[in-house]
Amino acid sequence: MSEKRPTTRSSLDRELRAIEDDMLRMGEMVDEAIQGSLRALAERDRGLAQQIVDGDARVNKLRFDIEEACLALMATQQPAAGDLRTVVAAMNVVGDLERMADHAAGNARIVLRMGDEPLLKPLIDIPRMADVCRSMIRDSLQAFVRRDGERARQIAAMDDQIDGLYQQVFRELLSFMVEDPHTTSRALFLLFAAHNLERIGDRATNIAERVLFMTSGVMRELNPEPRESHDLQ
Amino acid sequence: MQQAARVSDFTAMMMMDENRAGGMIEFEATEAIFTRPKNPRTEDYVTGRFG
């Protein structure tokens, strides 16, 4: 027996790499959508907002293409162990990326719905939330490609920053609405935008969880506190 | 190998080295061997890296 003998893995490796490349490309599209929707909000650029809303269909299509590639790989290569976990993780990750793009498009729709109403307040914490989201997405996808479970754990911890910023935005906007109910609609626009980013952070945590599953075989939540509680505040 | 995965409840991974044949390097529920083997040589075998 020689471990140097040629194996039948070459097409499996090639297909796995293609799936990862497409997943990274999808991550870049999501990153651009988040960045663009924030710029559209800050600059009240409705043209850019419309572009992001329209561009969401490309993300959705790429998600289906990647899922089909995963299915074809499973049917034809019968992957096992780490390979199987990689394919299953990739299918989950592209689902999370697709939902993140929906949230970014949601923020672009907010810009369209705001019309010419001025922003209630300057954007400070919301762009910070977006920056942390973008770092989490970029780093978690890199951790996926590098099979770096330890990095995935660190990335999941970054979600606490997003949750903290969201709490801050929530309290601030609530005080505006309490003091002057006429500000309610403008406050709600910003609150929805922050909420979308908070959801993106949770989805990025899901990716980190999938990286940990892929590298260790262990499936568990990295931030086990009830994250959905924000929805009720 | 796929047939073994399909019909068995438990799987043993046995290998030959310079000193002996049939040394058991891992024994687990079949589901564990084919999804999250602990021994890297089992991982390499079930993922087609050798054999």
What six digits make up the tokens of A155? 């990335």
What would the pLDDT profile of A32-57 be if each residue is shown by its tens digit?
Answer: 999 999 999 999 999 999 999 999 99
Contacts of B50 in chain A (CB under 8 A): 1-3, 5, 7
C-alpha A173/C-alpha A41 separation (Å) is 16
Q: Is B9 on the interface with A (CB under 8 A)?
A: no
Q: Is A106 helix (H, G, I), strand (E, B) or coil?
A: helix
Work out the average pLDDT over A123-136: 97
Q: Is A1 on the interface with B (CB under 8 A)?
A: yes
Contact yes or no for B47 and A78 at CB 8 A? no
Q: Is the pTM of this model over 0.95?
A: no
What would the pLDDT profile of A160-177 be if each residue is shown by its tens digit?
Answer: 999 999 999 999 999 999
Task: Nearest chain B residue to A11 by CA: give it.
Answer: B48
Q: Is B22 on the interface with A (CB under 8 A)?
A: no
Q: Is B13 helix (H, G, I), strand (E, B) or coil?
A: strand
Distance from CA of B42 to the nearest CA of A (A): 9
C-alpha A212/C-alpha A166 separation (Å) is 26
Contacts of B5 in chain A (CB under 8 A): 80
> A6 falls in which pLDDT band (50, 70, 90)?
low
- Phi, psi (degrees; rounded to nearest 5) at B48: 75, 20
Q: Give ipTM to 2 decimals.
A: 0.84
Task: Nearest chain A residue to B3 by CA: give it.
Answer: A78
Contacts of B51 in chain A (CB under 8 A): 1
Out of B35, B50, B51, the one facing A217 most closely (by C-beta) is B35
Is the domain covering A10-216 a CATH 3.40.50.720 domain? no
The alpha helices in chain A, defined as continuous H runs, are 10-43, 46-77, 81-114, 125-146, 149-157, 159-179, 184-216
Residues above pLDDT 90, as percent of chain A: 87
> A230 falls in which pLDDT band (50, 70, 90)?
low
Q: What is the pLDDT of residue A114?
A: 93
For A53, A168, A232, the CA distances from A175, given in Å and listed in that order, are 31, 11, 17
Domain boundaries, chain A: 10-216
C-alpha A104/C-alpha A118 separation (Å) is 21
What would the pLDDT profile of B36-50 be if each residue is shown by its tens digit?
Answer: 999 999 999 999 998
Q: Is A7 helix (H, G, I), strand (E, B) or coil?
A: coil
Across A20-24, A27-31, B32-36, B47-51, least confident range: B47-51
What would the pLDDT profile of A205-229 be if each residue is shown by its tens digit?
Answer: 999 999 999 999 998 888 876 555 5
Instruction: Name beta bridge partners: B13.
Output: B26
Task: Nearest chain A residue to B16 by CA: give it.
Answer: A1
